[in-house]
Amino acid sequence: MIFGFLSLILAGTLALWVTTQFSDSLGWVDSLFTATSAVCVTGLVVVDTGSGLSLPSQFIVLFLIQMGGLGVMTAATA
Domain count, the chain: 1
pLDDT in the model for residue 29: 95
Domain harbouring 15, CATH code: 1.10.287
pLDDT in the model for residue 52: 87
Residue 1 lies in a domain: no
Model confidence pLDDT, tens digit, residues 14-49: 999 999 888 767 899 999 999 999 999 988 999 998
- d(CA 63, CA 52) in angstroms, rounded, equals 17
Residue 19 lies in a domain: yes
Residue 16 lies in a domain: yes
Widest pairwise Cα distance in the chain: 41
Residue 25 lies in a domain: yes
pLDDT in the model for residue 24: 67
- What percent of the chain lies above the pLDDT cut of 70? 99
43 DSSP 8-state letter: -
- What percent of the chain lies above the pLDDT cut of 90? 56
Residue 20 lies in a domain: yes
- Residues spanned by the domain of 29: 7-77
pLDDT in the model for residue 63: 96
